[in-house]
Structure formats: structure tokens, C-alpha cells
């Protein structure tokens, strides 16, 4: 069995999910969103993300992690801030000696909905079919589950 941590990084909302994989079987374990307080400095927010991802690793003991690659926004500052949040999550996972695998948003969409341009609703419908126990409350949580499933379906997992 492999346990996969999926992460949809964000400075305001970092979605996360845990799924178990045995052969072609996928089982939903847990998911949620890390919500740093909005009125704290950037360094404290990054520390909050790092600490919470570290705790997820301690609590769930994943073997591997899939994380979304950021895309370049029109606003360079936004892209830079998102990259820092993503880095905090990656370092938290790598610090626990868990391999990290990166997936572009269109690859995640294609892996689940067979099209790289699927919308959030199409992804949600596929998730509910593939993992009926998963009931994500936000798009960040849904995206994290989709990233974990993409990793499970595209990597070599025994």
C-alpha cells in the first residue's frame, strides 16, 4: 500500500488530501484546507503553511506527495507569492524525506476528465465517481484530491 498526500498550494488556502493506493484500488482517507490567518505577516503565513503540512506528514505518514505546479499569472507579484507558499509546502514534505512529484493543472484535468480544459464542476463530478467517500467543501480541497489521484494514476505505485 502507498499513501499519497496531494497538495494544492496557496497563500490564503492550501488544499490537502490523503488517499491510499493498493494496485488499482484508491481509497479516500482525509482532506481539508490549511487557512493561515489573514492578518499576519508573509513570513508567519509561510511558517503556518510549513508547520501544518509538517503535521499532516506526521499524522498521516504519506509515502509520496503530489503537488500542483504554479502557472505564471499576469501579475508577477501574485505568482511570486504563490511560489513562496508552494515552496513552504514542498520543504515541509521534503524535510520528512517524502518524495515530491509535480503536476501541471492541465495534466491533472486530463488525467481525471480526459481533457486538459475541464472545468471545476467536471473535476468534482469525476472525483465523486472515483472516490465517493470524498466530499470536498472547497475547490482547493477538491483540487488537492485530484492531484493525489493524478499521482496515483500516472506514477508507478505497487
**Active-site residues: which are they?**
8, 68, 140
Q: What residues have CB less than 8 Å from 6, skipping those under 6 apart?
A: 15, 16, 17, 18, 19, 65, 66, 67, 144, 145, 146, 147, 148, 149, 150, 151
All three cell numbers of 98, joined, read 517524502
- Percentage helix, strand, coil for the chain under 3-state DSSP, each rounded to 5: 45, 20, 30
Amino acid at each position: 500500500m502507498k499513501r499519497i498526500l496531494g497538495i494544492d498550494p496557496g497563500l490564503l488556502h492550501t488544499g490537502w488530501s490523503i488517499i491510499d493506493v493498493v494496485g488499482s484500488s484508491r481509497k479516500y482517507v482525509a482532506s481539508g484546507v490549511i487557512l493561515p490567518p489573514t492578518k499576519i505577516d508573509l513570513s508567519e503565513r509561510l511558517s503556518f503553511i510549513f508547520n501544518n503540512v509538517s503535521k499532516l506528514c506526521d499524522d498521516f505518514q504519506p509515502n509520496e506527495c503530489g503537488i500542483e505546479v504554479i502557472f505564471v499569472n499576469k501579475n508577477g507579484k501574485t505568482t511570486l507569492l504563490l511560489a513562496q507558499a508552494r515552496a513552504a509546502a514542498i520543504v515541509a514534505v521534503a524535510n520528512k524525506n517524502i518524495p515530491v512529484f509535480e503536476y501541471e493543472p492541465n495534466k491533472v484535468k486530463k488525467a481525471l476528465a480526459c481533457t486538459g480544459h475541464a472545468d471545476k464542476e467536471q473535476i468534482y463530478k469525476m472525483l465523486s465517481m472515483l472516490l465517493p467517500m470524498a466530499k470536498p467543501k472547497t475547490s482547493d480541497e477538491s483540487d488537492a484530491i485530484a492531484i493525489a489521484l493524478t499521482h496515483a494514476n500516472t506514477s508507478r505505485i505497487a
